[in-house]
Amino acid sequence: MNPSIRKVSAVLGVLMVALFLNLNFVQVVKGSSYRDAPDNSRVLLNEYASPRGQIIVGGSPVAESKATNDELKYLRVYPQGPLYAPVTGFYSITATPSPYLGTEGIEKYEDSVLSGGDSRLFGRRLADILTGRNPRGGNVELTIDAAAQQAAYNAMKDSKGNLRKGAVVAIDPSTGAILAAVSTPSYDPSKLSLHDPSKIDDYYTALTNDPADPLQNRAFNSLYFPGSIFKIVVSAAALKNGVTPDTQVLAPNGYIATTGASVKSCNGDVTNCVENFEGEQCENGKTASLAYALAKSCNTAFAALAVDQLHGQAIADEAKLFGFDPDSQLTIPMGVATSTIGPKSDLVDPGHLAHMAFGQQSVRVSPLEAAMMSAAVANDGTLMTPYLVDRELAPDLSTLSKTKRSEMSQVLSPTLDSELQQMMEGVVTSPEGTAHSAAISGVTVAGKTGTADTGATSASKIQPDAWFTGYAAKNGSAKIAVAVILENAGVNGNEITGGEAAAPVARAVMEAYLKAHP
């Protein structure tokens, strides 16, 4: 071969190798960084080139894409934004402090279906491209009931129309389907989905600077002291251990956990001694039936029961069946905060165990878990796995998948559970009950109230949280289980407790649902 040709060939070979290496470096090594670079608009343009699928409640979209005349061809909108924000989440292009705010809620966890990228939609997407049709994303149909959701949101408003801090979660006890999930105060996802980054930044900054924290999903991701609603768990453990609703249990005005002694007053000993709410007397001041103690919500009775008879492990085992599990990987499909009874050391320390028995110490619960507690009791002792997505749909509305109901645990046998049901009904109907304001004419309502100490000192002027969890049954069948938390709404001294503050919210939700589903 001519030497000149050999030289040219060698140079061309080197250039081809260099080109090959450069292409691999750009596509493999640097591909992700180039794709995600803030000034690369191709990904963004491609993402907004096709309409994203709908998120549907009761046949109507609560999130959908609208055509625009912008460079970004479609705009994500939420027709009833704040009402459904805890479940829809948001779909956003950009916001401070990161280049991409991204997605939250169902928008995030069902993104593959909504965007059309799911492998089950590949054939339809390919056919759309080949025929020149604009590809569309699939749709997601939620379990949320529109009537229950609206009633929950409205009931969270105070007398002036302002949304109070807290959450409402409702569940179908027989299936685990989540019927309502409200977190207040809320926000408008549409304002995080605008095509103007500066407006998104302004709104996002305002939300993050708001001390009420509207972006916090209190329904699924916040943990609270459960207060006396945890007595449902202790009651279930007691029934399993041979205690009956009529069994007389120790119920003094004051109970010292370390010695088991009954006293008239704790005299300031808040570590090892327990008193009833506002110093109330439980029945005769010495003993009370288990049913009376639950209806009246006697702290001393449950503290003594936990320390002297049940002990910590029995309560821990029962709590785990109800869903208090630090190892839980529960998704709905979003991940949820894990409810817990606290460290194992609390199970053997008498003072800690006594306070755990009425939902204080290190016990923490999410509103979802609080609703699951009542749902299990309502469903003859069977706890169903909660879920938020009913069906995933193709763009033509054919079904890609439907969520299968699944049993999570058996918290009580049906026989023992019927006794707990009657006890919880007594909380609403008996003269000593604390939840009279949850009653609905012609409907069986059962529940448990709670006024949970937040751990704040009186000097801080932060009031206890108000709880109610319960269920409504009609014609012998449990229809809906509801949990309500109102932050700092249980006011000591004036006895504005869970029964007076939170129970009316639950009643409004139950009434709305039963009216819509007679």
Catalytic site positions: 228
Query: Which strands sit side by side in the sheet containing 477-486, from one edge to the other?
Result: 178-184, 166-171, 477-486, 465-474, 444-452
Work out the number of other CB atoms within 10 angstroms of the CB of residue 138: 27
Query: CA-CA distance, 122 to 136, in Å (whole number)?
Result: 11
Q: Label residues 8-18 b or e (16+ Cβ within 10 Å = b).
A: eeeeeeeeeee
Radius of gyration of the chain, Cα coordinates, nearest whole angstrom: 28
What angle, rounded to 10 degrees, do the helices at 146-155 and 81-88 form? 110
Q: CA torsion, points 202, 208, 214, 219, in degrees to nearest 10?
A: 130
**Assigned token pair, 338:** 């894990």
Cβ atoms of residues 444 and 377 within 8 Å: no
**Assigned token pair, 488:** 């700092």
Residues paired with residue 449 on neighbouring β-strands, in sequence order: 468
What is the secondary structure of 25-51 as a DSSP string? IIIIISHHHHHT-TT--HHHHHHTSSP
Cβ atoms of residues 369 and 160 within 8 Å: no
